[in-house]
């Protein structure tokens, strides 16, 4: 009998919530001896500013965009290299929700792991919810990981 989970995709935006989700993705990959892929979707539009956006140092926006894109690729590789299992990386561009669904479908994944920011009210409305979009549209099981508040405790 084949294991239920053979291919896992960790969708990450490098936030604290995503770091918590990566822990669970790695643990599941180890448990099921599953293939793990770390996915990041870069959105070059102004409202899609990633966490790792470099400060603009040059007068040329395109050059700044290229530096930001490369920084995202580097951080994704560092993340995957930090896992205690072999993990491939996928760096895509576009709107995060639809791109995550497209890639998950194309790769015929069994499980998608995403962190949630836990936005409510106006923030959820204004910022949208990639996790909610993914849960509603994913072709496979989705494990959502809520933010771990231990980072706020002192």
Sketch the domain layout of the chain as residue ranges.
Answer: 7-151
pLDDT in tens, 94-118: 999 999 999 999 999 999 999 987 5
Count of beta carbons in the 10 Å neighbourhood of residue 21: 26
7-151 fold: Rossmann fold (3.40.50)
The pTM (predicted TM-score) of the whole model is 0.81
- Residues 16, 22, 23: CA angle, nearest 5 degrees: 100
* Strands of the 87-93 sheet, one edge to the other: 87-93, 35-42, 7-11, 111-115, 141-145
CA distance between the termini of the chain? 47
pLDDT in tens, 54-109: 555 545 555 678 888 999 999 999 999 999 899 999 999 999 999 999 999 999 99
Q: Is the dihedral of CA 73, 75, 78, 84 positive or negative?
A: negative
């Amino acid at each position: 009998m084949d294991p239920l989970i053979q291919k896992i995709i960790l969708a990450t935006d490098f936030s604290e919530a995503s770091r918590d989700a990566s822990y669970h993705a790695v643990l599941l990959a180890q448990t099921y001896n599953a293939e793990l892929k770390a996915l990041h979707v870069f959105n070059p539009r102004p409202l899609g500013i990633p966490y790792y956006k470099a400060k603009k140092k040059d007068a040329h926006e395109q050059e700044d965009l290229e530096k930001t894109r490369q920084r995202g690729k580097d951080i994704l590789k560092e993340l995957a290299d930090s896992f205690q299992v072999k993990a491939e990386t996928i760096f895509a561009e576009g709107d995060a929700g639809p791109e995550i669904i497209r890639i998950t479908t194309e790769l015929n994944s069994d499980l998608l792991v995403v962190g949630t920011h836990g936005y409510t009210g106006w923030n959820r409305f204004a910022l949208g919810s990639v996790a909610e979009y993914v849960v509603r549209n994913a072709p496979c099981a989705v494990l959502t990981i809520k933010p771990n508040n231990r980072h706020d405790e002192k």
